């Protein structure tokens, strides 16, 4: 599990990673606990532009995040 420092929050994030049998890796899906995105989450991180980032009040996946992940999976696995 990776940790990102923040002056305002010490909560953990969830990362869904996908690796195929041939060793190729898809960009991750990162689920951050909360209800909206905050700019300081992205300013000092090494998150790539092709990563899928979502927010969830419980920090678990939900129907909306699952559908976004399926679209993300299809886009990068084709």
In total, the chain counts a number of residues equal to 78
pLDDT of residue 3: 45
pLDDT band at 21 (very low <50, low <70, confident <90, very high): confident
CA distances from 61 to 10, 14, 15, 23, 48 (A): 20, 9, 10, 25, 21
Q: At residue 41, does pLDDT exceed 90? A: no
The rounded mean pLDDT for the chain is: 80
Above pLDDT 90, what percent of the chain? 18
> Which pTM was predicted?
0.69
């Amino acid at each position: 599990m990776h940790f990102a420092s923040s002056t305002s929050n010490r909560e953990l994030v969830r990362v869904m990673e996908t690796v195929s049998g041939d060793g190729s890796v898809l960009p991750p899906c990162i689920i951050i606990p909360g209800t909206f995105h905050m700019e300081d989450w992205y300013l000092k991180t090494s998150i790539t532009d092709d990563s899928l980032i979502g927010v969830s009040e419980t920090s678990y996946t939900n129907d909306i995040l699952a559908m976004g992940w399926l679209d993300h999976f299809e886009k990068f696995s084709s």
